[in-house]
A and B are shown apart, each in its own frame.
Chain A
Amino acid sequence: MKKGFLISLSLLVLLTLPSYGKKWTGTVIKEYDNAESWMSLVTKMKELHMNYGAEAGAERVLEYFADIKSKEFAYQNIVDLIDYGYPFNLRPVFMSGDLETVSKENFSQSYNLYKATIDLEKNMPKWADTYFAKVDKETFPKYLFYQALREFNQKKLDESLAHLEKALAGLSDSPAHLSLSKKISRTMARIYYEQTKYKQALDIYQTYLLKLNPIEPADWVEAAWALYRLGQYDTALGYLYNMEVKDPSQDIYLEKFIIRALIYREKCATSYTFSLSQNFDKEFGPTIEKIKMGESLKTLPVLKRLIDRGSDYRRALKTIDELQNEAKMISKLPSGMQQMATFLYDTEVKNISKNRDFSEDNALTDAARRLVVMGESLRFLQFDVIREQYNPDKVFAPPPEPETLVETLPDKRFLLHWIQWGDFWRDERMSYRGKLKNWCQ
């Protein structure tokens, strides 16, 4: 018996030996086995701002064709998409890259930098060093930003700041630099915040990041944190009001509840805290109940808006969404490209859907955990509030202040106070203030 098993095992090993070490190959469907057609499609999609499709197309070029020209084209386009603000990490695509390029051009410098960083991430330091050696470490803004991030993570804040300033100085007003400029500015603001230089941090949000279109909603929260630290509670609350725009596709930032709770605590405002807790319950109470009852997390749509923005699941969700939107524009492509584009979008959505399913459970569990923890924290806050309601110092509320609609300023100027009715005018977004009352003795 034992002998027979050993013989069978040996035969199995012998049979599989010939395929060991052989490169895996696949056959590209004949109609799509033409690199030039793919390159034309990617170029056209970029022109029409079908960026998710263009990225998928560039990756297909890398998968299907091994010649240098095709690879250069694909990487060039991926670098361009990163420069123009593709929102997810594309460095893993560079893992299989085998181009040799040394020049001061943005593409060459970017390719070598991405290649080096992904090699380092995959624990291949020697390869990483080889590619880093080809990067201009003194002036290339992306490298300086990379260096600054490393220093930030190591808590070398001053050095990080110096590198960021140098990187920013190397950027122009070109749209290709906008995305990097935003990342650098946001990192600078976060460093100033870490250094408790809240005014400088706030200045970056107010003079740059919150004046961009579209605004990254997280910037409202980060600016509100800085305002909270500066004791400007009414403005902090006004900034957070921007997060109340009714948009079912928008992410939910639970931090906004934390800042609001902290502000109300500073003002000893029990009624506001009570309302906050009620609002949270109204928005998330049913979802939390269902989580506690053990209902499938996939049936709770709110959780999808709470997913960590850096997660694979979020990337898959967003990419599928964007690909499906772009697929509606296929008719705008030249007729000869439409079949190939349909194939690209269909297969890409199917592939990413599989990835999404793999990461779904972990992502939803994490979101559910964060929501439940937040709910419990606010519940405790509510107990404090109930106790505070019987505090004799707080029972007698001060009389309401007279409402001001117009405020006269020097030089015949005047301020208008628009009481908000939930309509969110774009010219008002940075001028909201909460009419907070101080209930502390």
Chain B
Amino acid sequence: MRIVTLVSQYNRKLDILDFKNSLYLVLILVICSLKAHAAPPDLEEQFGPRPLDGVYIEALQSYSNPRSSQWGFDFGVWPNQPYYNGFSIGLNYTYYFNKDHAWEVLNASYIYTVDTGLTTELADRYKVDPKSIQRSNLIASTNYLYNFAYGKFIFFGQNIRYFRSYILGGAGIVSSNQGAFPNVSFGWGFDTFVNDRISWRIGVRDNYAIGGDHPNNIVFTLGTGYGF
């Protein structure tokens, strides 16, 4: 797998780390950069760039999916609620300002819940009967996306697939049977392109409901995207 991590953005990435971790990261980056500049002898099989007569060779490739807008459709699993398992369908629209920054204008999910059996177990074993269980049923948010890696990989030894990976953060609203709560959302996503327009997307995000009984609404998603 090949990943281009944008060198110019290492500094900004450091902002989200504490000082000690920042030092570790700087140390690793320095070692990596030293390793990258120390040209191994030509024609020798070893880990690292392999120059030809001391000349580094690079492949210049246009990234295959620089589309401005993308519609996404996904299925999600909400596994971390004690009283129920949630299954969702979601729709989202994202606008890309450039290769790095994008705005997920809307991400909306409808959640269908199935009891885990915990309420029955509590009643049978401990004679406890929770009267009100908060169940999220609709979540909508708007988010900022930052694409931190672009790359490609070989899928089952046959097909070369391009991907990009991003982190996101934003705000929205969680609608539940106990009312609506504001939420803060953050997460990570990964797009793998089948062609110039269509991609497979996986992701994980937490819609943290402020003021709810069970604030963490964590969802794992699998979906598809269409760029235009």
Contact = CB atoms under 8 A, between A and B. Distances in A.
B54 A419 contact: no
A406 B59 contact: no
Contacts of B63: 413-416
Nearest to A407: B60
B38 interface: no
Which residue of B48, B55, B61, B160 has the most chain A CB atoms within 10 A of its CB atom? B55
Contacts of A279: 42-43, 53
B34 interface: no
Contact of B66 (A276, A411, A417, A427): A411
The 6 A-B residue pairs with the shortest CB-CB distance, nearest first, are A428-B59, A422-B50, A275-B53, A275-B54, A420-B57, A418-B59
Interface of B: 2, 4, 6-7, 36-37, 42-43, 45, 47-50, 52-63, 66, 68, 96, 98-99, 150, 160
Given A244-B43, A414-B66, 15 more contacts: A279-B43, A279-B53, A282-B43, A405-B7, A409-B62, A412-B66, A413-B62, A414-B62, A416-B60, A419-B36, A425-B160, A431-B59, A432-B57, A433-B59, A434-B56
27 contacts: A237-B52, A272-B53, A279-B43, A406-B99, A412-B66, A413-B62, A414-B62, A414-B63, A415-B60, A416-B62, A416-B63, A418-B4, A419-B49, A419-B57, A420-B56, A420-B58, A421-B48, A422-B45, A422-B50, A425-B59, A426-B160, A431-B61, A433-B58, A433-B60, A434-B52, A434-B56, A435-B56
B61 A428 contact: yes
Given A264-B53, A271-B54, A403 B60 contact: no
Contact of A244 (B49, B52, B99): B52
Contacts of A271: 54
Contacts of A413: 62-63, 66
A272 to B, nearest CB: 5
B7 A417 contact: no
Contacts of A433: 57-60
A244 to B, nearest CB: 6
Contact of B59 (A240, A403, A432): A432
A418 B66 contact: no
Contact of A420 (B50, B62, B150): B50
Contact of B58 (A408, A414, A425, A432): A432
Nearest to A238: B57
A419 B150 CA distance: 14
Contacts of A427: 61, 160
Contacts of B99: 406, 408, 412, 414
Nearest to A283: B43
- Give the size category of A's interface with B: 35 or more
A304 interface: no
Contacts of B47: 421
A115 interface: no
Nearest to B99: A414
A190 interface: no
Contacts of A419: 36, 49, 56-58
A355 B4 CA distance: 54
A39 B52 CA distance: 52
B54 A418 contact: no
Nearest to B97: A412
B150 A416 contact: yes
Nearest to B45: A422
Nearest to A424: B59
Interface in A385-441: 400, 403, 405-409, 411-422, 425-428, 431-436
Interface in A193-243: 237-238, 240-241
Given A408-B99, A412-B96, A420 B49 contact: yes
B54 A415 contact: no
A237 B42 CA distance: 14
A403 B170 CA distance: 34
A412 B47 CA distance: 33
Contacts of B61: 415-416, 418, 427-428, 431
